[in-house]
Structures are given as structure tokens and as C-alpha cells.
Structure 1
Amino acid sequence: MERFSKPAAGGIIEKNVDGIDYILIQERSKEDAKLEEGLLEIPAGKIREFENIYECLRREIWEETGLQVTEIDGEKDSTIFESNRYKVLNYTPFACSQNIEGNYPVMVETFICKVKGEMLAKTNETKNIRWISLKDLKELIVKDKNRFYPMHIKTLEKYIDMKSKAL
């Protein structure tokens, strides 16, 4: 039987406090993925059939962190086109990753976003949800990439590089 990759949306949730940039990270804690237990990741999850990717991102961030998305970079520039009984959303994510080997055939389109609200301590899929400075994140990635969920490493490195060039 033919199998297909599963599309997903992920969010780099950013904030700046006193001139220091932070993003939200969490540890994976999924019943059906014990080999990935404790790996550091950003919030992400599968897109439901015909679900708008932005709504998926909002839902996944809410489910995994308890936070409400207030802004998604690029959402205002997205367009919807309707023709021949189709409704098509055109958008540009910050980064895309596809798992081409391993346990889970997934494709993650990641967006940069901002949130508000009270963060949960843990959920049924995550634990140790917290803010980390970009400086500490970069050091952690350089020191030990194996601590991270593989789907997010290159996206996080791209984000760190982009923010470093902006200074």
C-alpha cells in the first residue's frame, strides 16, 4: 500500500525582553514516540484535512503550550484563490523540512510568530515548556545537536543566523 508524508505546521515563537531575543522550546513527551522522549523542539503538529495552515499553527501552539497566537509572519501577505470549486491558500513559510528517512514521514512548514497568555507547565505531548535566549540556544545546538528533534535543527540554525545578521 502506498504511504504519504503527513503535512505539519510549526512555530518559532519569539519575544524580546530588555533587548534580548528569546524563543519558546519544549521537550517531546508523546506516548507513541518513546524514542524521541525529551528531545528539544518547537511547537508543531499535523494539519487536519482542509484545515488552513495558519489555523493549524494556532491550534497546535494552543494545545502544546496554552498560548494564543497573536501574529504570524507572512500571514497578511497570504492569498486565497477560488476557482472550479477549489479554494487555495498561497503562503510563504519561514522554513520547510521533510523527513525522508526514519520513523515518521512528516513535512513541517515553520512560521515565526508571537503569542500572549499563560504558558502551561506540560501537556499530553510536551513538558518543560520554556523560553531560551538565542545565545543559549545557539550554544546548545553547537554543543549537542542530538538533544534536538531532527526536524527542527536546521530551521533553528537558519533562524539564529537570520537574527545574528539583523544585528
Structure 2
Amino acid sequence: MFRQQARFYVNARAIIERPGAAGREVLLQQRQKPGEARLLEFPGGQLELFEGMTDALKREVREETGLTVTGFLDALNETRRSTRQAEVQCLTPSFVYQTLRGPVDSVGFFFRVTAEGELTRQGDHAGNHQWIALDDLRQRFDATPEHFDWLTQGALAQYLQQGRE
């Protein structure tokens, strides 16, 4: 009898912020993975085996947007502990998530960051990058949440509730 292996994903995702003419803006992109809906999402993705969370975040942002993460907007409070058996990184992200039901089983970390560089037209399974003013984002999310992927819907609910200005 064939038994499907369960997959568990660990992700790092970026809420890239910048000042704009209408106030704070965040970067969203359109997912462009074959066989998946082209919905809006935050940049980010899977950690590689034994890859640090912030290293994964920086790599994923670069691969998907062409931008380089230049700073973290929340204090990371990072500590590392090395023993003969392992090295462990502990830090404080902006917030974490866990899927309790859905298309994949995953846990992940969202970080509020700044970034610079040239946005690519097409990144790794991502495109149509757009800076959206926070007030516009709230209105779009309230009016048409279905334009955002399921994970981004959860993240936006948390992010907008935190109301950082």
C-alpha cells in the first residue's frame, strides 16, 4: 500500500516597508508558480536545511525581488548557543504563524524589514511587484481579501492589527 509522506515547511517571509508620498508602503508580489493562482503575497519562502532564519529571509527576498535586505524594523534580540552537538539561533521576529488546516503544513516567521536595490520584473516564482500605501492596502484587503493568498490573508490580519506607524 502506498502511503504519502507528509511534508512540513518552515518559512521566512518579509514585510518590506518604505516611506512613500501617502505614508508607509509595503511591497507585495504576485505568486507565479505553475498550477497555482496568481494571488498577492509577501516575499519569502522555505528555509534550507540548517539555514538561519535571517539568512533564508535575505536569500528569498533577493531571489524573488532582486532587493537586498538592509535592516530589520523590530529588535531581533538574537542569541546563538553552540555546543558540541549543535548550534541554536534564537531571535524575535515580528510575528510567527502556523497552519492549523490548509493545503500545506507549515510554520513560519515574518520580519518587518527595509531593503534597497532594483526590483526585478520577474523573480523566482514571483512577479508584478507593487508598492502599496498602507491605507490603500487596508482598503484592498477589506474589500477583496480573495486577491491575497491564504497565508498573506492571515499575515495581513496580524500585521494590520498591530498598527505600527
TM-score, with structure 2 as normaliser: 0.89
Match of 2:8 in 1: 5
Distance 2:80 2:136 in 1: 39
Instruction: After TM superposition, give the deviation of residue 19 of structure 1 in Å.
Output: 6.1
Match of 1:50 in 2: 50
Unaligned runs of 5+ in 1: none
More deviation, 40-49/10-19: 10-19
Instruction: After TM superposition, give the deviation of residue 160 of structure 1 in Å.
Output: 2.1
Query: Residues 81 and 70 (structure 1 numbering): CA distance in 2 closer, same or farther, change over 3 Å?
Result: same
Flag as ranges the 4+ runs of structure 1 deviating above 4 A.
none
Number of aligned residues? 162
Matched, 1:22 2:25: yes
Match of 1:151 in 2: 151
Distance 1:7 1:75 in 2: 21
Do the aligned residues in 2 keep the contact of 1:29 with 1:125 (CA within 8 Å)?
A: yes
Instruction: After TM superposition, give the deviation of residue 4 of structure 1 in Å.
Output: 4.0
Unaligned runs of 5+ in 2: none
Once the two structures are superposed, residues 127-167 of structure 1 have per-residue CA deviations (whole angstroms, 9 ceiling, x without a partner) of 11010001111011101111111112232222223236x4x
More helix by share: 1
Do the aligned residues in 1 keep the contact of 2:11 with 2:47 (CA within 8 Å)?
A: yes
Do the aligned residues in 1 keep the contact of 2:76 with 2:91 (CA within 8 Å)?
A: no
Distance 2:132 2:92 in 1: 26
For the residue of structure 1 that corresponds to 2:122, the secondary structure is coil
Match of 2:80 in 1: 80
CA RMSD of aligned residues (A): 1.8
More deviation, 89-98/112-121: 89-98
TM-score, with structure 1 as normaliser: 0.88
